Chains A and B, each alone.
Chain A
Amino acid sequence: MKRRLTIPSPNRRGFLAGMAGLFGTASLGGCDKIANSAWGTRTLKAGEDANLYVQRLLLTPSSLAREFAETDISKWFKPNGTIDPEDTPYKALAAKNFSTYTLRVDGLVENSLDLSLDELRTLPARTQITRHDCVEGWSAIGKWTGVPLAELLKKASLKPQARYIVFHCADTMEYAPADAADAQGDGDAPAGKPIRYYESIDLTDAFHPQTILAYDMNGHPLPISNGAPLRLRVERQLGYKQAKYIMRIEVTDSLGHVGQGNGGYWEDNGYEWYAGI
C-alpha cells in the first residue's frame, strides 16, 4: 500500500539537532557543574536581580505586609536557626535578664547611640500582627511590638553616604578555621574566630513603617528562642532576614566588608540577599 503524503520529506538534520539539544538539556546531570562554576553562579543570580528590580517597581513605601487579628496568632511560633546562643557574653546578659544590655548604633551616622532596653522601650513603638515566612516554606503568625528602625536612624542621623543597615548579632553560627592570628581571639571559641549572625537591608526597607526592632512578642518580652532581647522585623521579606539577638546596628555605604561580602550569614551560604520571594 502506497502512502501519499502532503508534505515534503522531513528535515532530518533539523530534527536530530533539535532532539540532541532537547536531551542535552534534559539530562540535568550537568546542571550541578553549571551551578558550581563562576559563570553559572552569576547566571543563576540573574533571577534574584530580576526579583529585586521588579519588586522594587511594584512595592511602594506604603505597600504594607498584611496585618492579622489577635485570633490568628499562632499557638506556637516556631523558633528557627539559633534558639539558645552558646556565647558566654550573651549568656551573661541573659542571666541578668538583659538589664545590662545596650544596643549600639554606629557607622555612617552623625551621632552614635548606646541604648539600653529600658531606653528603647521609651521610644515611640509600633505593634503589628504579621505572618513570618521561612525560606523552608512554613509560615507562623506573631504579634510584635518594637521601635521603628526609622526612629533610631533619625535619632542617629544618617550621613549622606549611608546606603545599608547591617545587623550584628550575638549568636555564633560557626567558627572560622583557626589560624595563628585568630587562635587566641575570643576566649569562648573552641577553634577559630566565631562567626556570629549578621544581616543587612537597604534604606528602602529600613525606613518602611513596618520595619521595627521588636522587644515584645505576643505581648510578652521576646523569649530567648525567638531572639531576646531585640530582633528585626522586616515584614516584606523571608525569615532569615529577621535577625535575632541584635547587638549592634552599623550604617554602611557598601556590603563589601560584611562577612564574605554578600550582606548576611545565609547570603554568604548561597541564599539571596533580597528575600522578597
Chain B
Amino acid sequence: MFRHPLVIRVAHWINVVCLAVLLMSGLQIFNAHPALYWGSQSTFDTPALAITDDQTDSGASRGIMQIGGHTFDTTGWLGLSTYQGETLSRAFPAWITLPANQNLAQGRRWHFLFAWAFVINGLIYLLYGIGSGQLRRRIIPDGDQIRHFGASIREHILLRFPKGEEARRYNVLQKLTYLVVVLVLLPMMLLTGLGMSPGVNAAFPVILDVLGGRQSARTLHFITVNLLVLFVIVHVLLVIVSGLWNNMRSMVTGWYAIEGETRRDGEIVR
C-alpha cells in the first residue's frame, strides 16, 4: 500500500536532520551553564539539576549530576568525560555537542538556523496534514481502536504487529504517541525555546506566565527534549523489530508492504 505521501516523507527526513542538529547544539548551549532552576531567576545555590565535577576524598576527579538533594556519579558520561584522549570537565561530553569543543557562540548559530528550518518544516507538515486530512487519519484514534485499547497494549507488549487490513492504519498506541509528539512535545520545544528569548518575552509576556518564568522555560525545554530523545529511541527500536527494510522503504518511497495473515495450512489470506 502507498502509506506516506511525498510531503510527509520529505518533512520527516528534514525533521530528522533538524532535531539532530538542534539536540547537539542545544547540549553545547546547556554546557555553558550546566544547571537548571525553577521560576524567573537562577537560585545558584539550590539548582533543580546541576552537572559538574568534583574531587573524591581520595583526590580523584569525578563527574556528578545533582538532582534536588541527590548526587549521582556520572564519570565518563556527564561532568567529566574523555574526548580524543583528553579528559575534559564538560557537562555533556564533547562527542555529542555541536561543535565538539566549547564554543557557545557557534552552538547558538547552529541552534537558531536549524530552529528556523524546524519551524518552517513543521508548519508545512501541519498545514499539509490538516488540509489533506492525513493528520486526522494518521494520529487520531478511531472509535473501535479506543474500544480495544487494552488488547492493543497487550499485542504491543508481545511485539505482535498488525497484519492484513489492520496494518493499513497505525494502531492506537502508535497514533497516541505520534499525537503527543507532533501536537504536544514538538510545539512545546518551540514554545519553551521562545520563552527564553528576552525579545519574545517583551512581545508576548503571556508565554512566561504560562511556563512559570524564564528559568522554568529553560528547565521545561530540557525535560521536553529528554522525552523526545526517549521517543526517538523507542521509535527506532520499533522500526527495526517491526521490519526495518519495509519501514525504511515506506518512509523513503512511500510504499509499505502489507503482509497477509498466514492460515494454519500455509495459505496467505489477503
Chain A residues engaging chain B, CB cutoff 8 angstroms: 1-8, 10-11, 14-15, 18-19, 21-22, 25-26, 28, 31-32, 35, 43-48, 50-51, 55, 58-59, 63-66, 68, 72, 74, 76, 78, 131, 133-141, 235-238, 266, 269-272, 276-277
Residues of chain A contacted by B258 (CB below 8 angstroms): 5-6
Binds A, one of B55-63, B128-136, B197-205: B197-205
B178 CB → nearest A CB, Å: 20
Q: What are the 7 closest A-B residue pairs judged by CB atoms, nearest first? A: A276-B199, A270-B105, A47-B112, A47-B113, A277-B197, A137-B33, A44-B109
A59-B202 in contact given A14-B253, A22-B16, A139-B41 (Cβ < 8 Å): yes
A43-B113 in contact given A18-B252, A22-B16, A58-B200 (Cβ < 8 Å): yes
A217 CB → nearest B CB, Å: 15
> Does B104 lie at the interface of the complex (its beta carbon under 8 Å from any beta carbon of A)?
yes
A48-B109 in contact given A11-B253, A32-B100 (Cβ < 8 Å): yes
Task: Indicate if the CB atoms of A138 and B42 lie closer than 8 Å.
Answer: yes
> Does B99 lie at the interface of the complex (its beta carbon under 8 Å from any beta carbon of A)?
yes
Residues of chain A contacted by B201 (CB below 8 angstroms): 65-66, 236
Task: Indicate if the CB atoms of A4 and B199 lie closer than 8 Å.
Answer: no
Name the one of A7, A25, A277 contacting B256, with C-beta atoms under 8 angstroms: A7
A65-B202 in contact given A2-B268, A137-B32, A137-B218 (Cβ < 8 Å): yes
Indicate with 1 or 0, residue by residue over B109-144, a CB within 8 angstroms of chain A CB atoms. Answer: 111111110000000000000000000000000000
Indicate with 1 or 0, residue by residue over B182-217, a CB within 8 angstroms of chain A CB atoms. Answer: 000000000000001111111111001000001100
Task: Indicate if the CB atoms of B105 and A269 lie closer than 8 Å.
Answer: yes
Indicate with 1 or 0, residue by residue over B236-270, a CB within 8 angstroms of chain A CB atoms. Answer: 00000000010011001101111110100010101
Name the one of B13, B41, B109, B202 contacting A235, with C-beta atoms under 8 angstroms: B202
B242 CB → nearest A CB, Å: 16
A-B contact sample (5 more), CB < 8 A, given A7-B255, A22-B16, A63-B203 = A10-B249, A15-B252, A25-B17, A48-B112, A270-B103
- A237→B151 CA distance, assembly (Å): 53
Chain A to chain B contacts (Cβ below 8 Å), 27 pairs: A1-B262, A2-B268, A4-B260, A4-B268, A8-B255, A10-B253, A22-B13, A25-B17, A31-B21, A31-B99, A44-B110, A44-B113, A47-B111, A47-B113, A50-B116, A55-B203, A65-B198, A65-B201, A72-B41, A76-B44, A131-B41, A133-B214, A139-B40, A271-B105, A272-B108, A276-B199, A277-B198
A225 CB → nearest B CB, Å: 15
**Chain B interface residue count, Cβ-Cβ cutoff 8 angstroms:** 63
Residues of chain A contacted by B199 (CB below 8 angstroms): 51, 55, 58-59, 236-237, 276-277
Task: Indicate if the CB atoms of B13 and A10 lie closer than 8 Å.
Answer: no
Task: Indicate if the CB atoms of A237 and B42 lie closer than 8 Å.
Answer: no
**A65 and chain B: residue at smallest CB distance:** B202
Residues of chain A contacted by B111 (CB below 8 angstroms): 47
B156 CB → nearest A CB, Å: 24
B267 CB → nearest A CB, Å: 9
A141-B200 in contact given A14-B253, A18-B252, A66-B205 (Cβ < 8 Å): no
> Does B158 lie at the interface of the complex (its beta carbon under 8 Å from any beta carbon of A)?
no
- A21→B10 CA distance, assembly (Å): 12
- A11→B248 CA distance, assembly (Å): 11
**A29 and chain B: residue at smallest CB distance:** B100
Task: Indicate if the CB atoms of B115 and A135 lie closer than 8 Å.
Answer: no
Task: Indicate if the CB atoms of A64 and B202 lie closer than 8 Å.
Answer: yes
> Does B227 lie at the interface of the complex (its beta carbon under 8 Å from any beta carbon of A)?
no
**A73 and chain B: residue at smallest CB distance:** B41
**A59 and chain B: residue at smallest CB distance:** B203
A58-B203 in contact given A7-B255, A66-B208 (Cβ < 8 Å): yes
Residues of chain B contacted by A65 (CB below 8 angstroms): 198, 201-202
Name the one of B40, B44, B106 contacting A270, with C-beta atoms under 8 angstroms: B106
Name the one of A3, A19, A276 contacting B197, with C-beta atoms under 8 angstroms: A276
Indicate with 1 or 0, residue by residue over B87-113, a CB within 8 angstroms of chain A CB atoms. Answer: 000000000001110011110111111
